[in-house]
A and B are shown apart, each in its own frame.
Chain A
């Protein structure tokens, strides 16, 4: 939203200053981008589409976490548990004959309520105390998943219904892609819009200086908890989309490592950047693929035999995730979104970039 504006584009009203897309160019670029994405199912294979779908629902959940961490300045180490809650809630609703398109939003709302419960400590705690409280939430919810057979199906997991509208079933990558794309566009526009509203500005004020925010009449407890609810809503919708994509949800998936991956997306994408969440999600989804490609290239070579690359590929992926978090924090703390802004600025000023 912020950043470079072309010469001659003066803002003469507050309304002009807070638009999501400041120039005509950016609006056109967005429409072209969506149009290109719409043609993806015609051009790409099922595997690539699967990756794009994964980026989509992970991006929605990461966006939720970014609203919490990046915009409100509260850390949560339990995001995957909320993501999982959304997945199971949507599966449960669909089983009780709620149409899947409605079940997804219903799951989002249910997750938001759970987020409110576990976000309640946020009204009193901050910083690392809150981080530890959400860590506890992660373990308590994970335990709940393992125990509540009526909700999750226990160790057997739960089979979910495919996404169906008016008898048309979106159960293949080529068709489900459009479902995810529609949700991604909707959720990202909603988040970008949220940041223009009174509530969105209040969240940022809470992050920047809670004392000044309170003096300006912002109810801290209310906005801290609200931010948890919103973040959980996004996580729930993302989780629901995940459930109806895989058509099966297992209890073990939503562990702490998954939560850390969401945090990594937010940090790598850029704290406090809406588009950064999507970039971070794309990075984190594609990174393991890159590791796989690298391992495949080395397959059969001496390095592969010495280090047992093929057999331990899952550990390698985890290591790369950990290393990516640390390296980004040290060398690029503003994330990919910042890098993207620099690239854009470079091309705008092209011949005279200095």
Chain B
């Protein structure tokens, strides 16, 4: 086995996995705060990336301005979704809530295809593309940027939930809604805020992927890849989400390698995480870091 290729694959996996980790983190954020399993997480990436692309190409805004407007838009987008669609469904069975987010997912996927077409569109060049050598491995600078931004977001999350007032209010709500309410935390506001933050963070990830690979409806697949990551890490653990994302990223690349070398099945890159998902669900359904609810099914 060529060790060089293997290292390269692992590194690629870590770079993609960091992005999965970021998306998984924002998924877990919504789940922890409002107990909603968001099947429309990938559409946050999609909408964010398309909006940013549109501002940059049609309106010719400079990148920083377009990016800031995108973030503002996504904040609004997240809050509106929560208030209009999810708030009326509070107290409904899990199935209804899941279905509502599934409905959102196909609605926005189709809307984006309608507005921007089905073909991948490249971002206007923002960063010079060059190859950098690290530890004897060739890496494109955009990938490094993507890794850097992922790490920055994770650091931001850590700061937000450990030190900021709103982050603490969110953790309190996730821990016990009634207690948080009696301490003066506005639970509806926390719900709306969690959706806004999740949408914004996912949009950043979407823009990063867009800059690297171009914007297309394939972005929404990140929302599906989130499930193996969060199940592996545990549905309600932010650390687990990051770790799960990294593992899934590496697993994909290794599966592709194994497939290309020995199996020749093709398509393992896409499917391997789902085999892993089924296995984890059968063996350890609460994941590596998830809270074990003691109940026998």
Contacts and interface: CB of A to CB of B under 8 A. Distances in A.
B48 to A, nearest CB: 19
Contacts of A137: 278
Given A128-B98, A260-B102, A333-B96, A136 B107 contact: no
B277 A318 contact: no
A340 interface: no
Interface in B202-226: 224
Interface in B23-69: 37
A210 B297 contact: yes
A135 B227 contact: yes
A49 B296 CA distance: 49
A128 B30 CA distance: 14
A315 B113 contact: yes
B285 A319 contact: no
B105 to A, nearest CB: 7
B265 A147 contact: yes
B111 interface: yes
A128 B101 CA distance: 12
From B93, B100, B108, B274, name the one whose CB has the most chain A CB atoms within 10 angstroms. Answer: B274
A318 B106 contact: yes
Given A143-B271, A326-B85, A127 B103 contact: no
Interface in B85-121: 85, 88-89, 92-96, 98-100, 102-111, 113-114
B114 A315 contact: yes
Interface in A77-127: 77, 120-121, 123-127
A179 interface: no
B282 interface: yes
B245 to A, nearest CB: 16
A140 B100 contact: no
A312 interface: yes
A326 B113 contact: no
Given A260-B102, A316-B114, A139 B271 contact: yes
Contacts of A124: 281-282, 285, 297
Given A140-B274, A140-B275, A330 B88 contact: yes
For chain B, the bracket of interface size reads 35 or more
B177 to A, nearest CB: 19
Contacts of B105: 322
A136 B99 contact: no
Contacts of A318: 106-107, 109-110, 113
B106 A267 contact: no
Nearest to A131: B98
A56 to B, nearest CB: 24
A236 B23 CA distance: 36
A88 B106 CA distance: 26
B104 A322 contact: yes
B106 A322 contact: yes
A346 interface: no
B266 interface: yes
B201 interface: no
B110 A132 contact: no
A73 B297 CA distance: 13
B265 to A, nearest CB: 6
A222 interface: no
B181 interface: no
B270 interface: yes
A321 B107 CA distance: 7
Contacts of A317: 110
Interface in B258-288: 265-267, 270-271, 274-275, 277-278, 281-282, 285
A267 B224 CA distance: 22
Contact of A121 (B103, B113, B282): B282
Given A126-B297, A143-B267, A132 B227 contact: yes
B231 interface: yes
A140 B278 contact: yes
A204 interface: no
A326 B107 contact: yes
Contacts of A184: none
Contacts of A329: 89, 92, 96, 99-100, 103
A216 to B, nearest CB: 16
A315 B111 contact: yes
Nearest to A130: B281
Contacts of A324: 103
Interface in B236-265: 265
Interface of A: 69, 73, 75, 77, 120-121, 123-129, 131-133, 135-137, 139-140, 143, 146-147, 210, 220, 257, 260, 263-264, 267, 271, 308, 312, 315-319, 321-326, 329-330, 333
17 contacts: A77-B102, A123-B297, A124-B297, A125-B285, A132-B231, A132-B281, A133-B277, A135-B227, A139-B224, A146-B267, A147-B267, A263-B99, A267-B96, A316-B114, A322-B110, A325-B103, A326-B103
Interface of B: 37, 85, 88-89, 92-96, 98-100, 102-111, 113-114, 224, 227-228, 231, 235, 265-267, 270-271, 274-275, 277-278, 281-282, 285, 297
Given A69-B95, A121-B282, A319-B110, 18 more contacts: A125-B281, A127-B95, A133-B281, A136-B228, A139-B271, A143-B267, A257-B106, A315-B114, A318-B109, A319-B114, A322-B105, A325-B99, A326-B103, A326-B107, A329-B92, A329-B96, A333-B92, A333-B96
Q: Which 6 A-B residue pairs are closest in the complex by CB-CB distance?
A: A322-B107, A325-B103, A318-B110, A136-B274, A315-B114, A322-B106
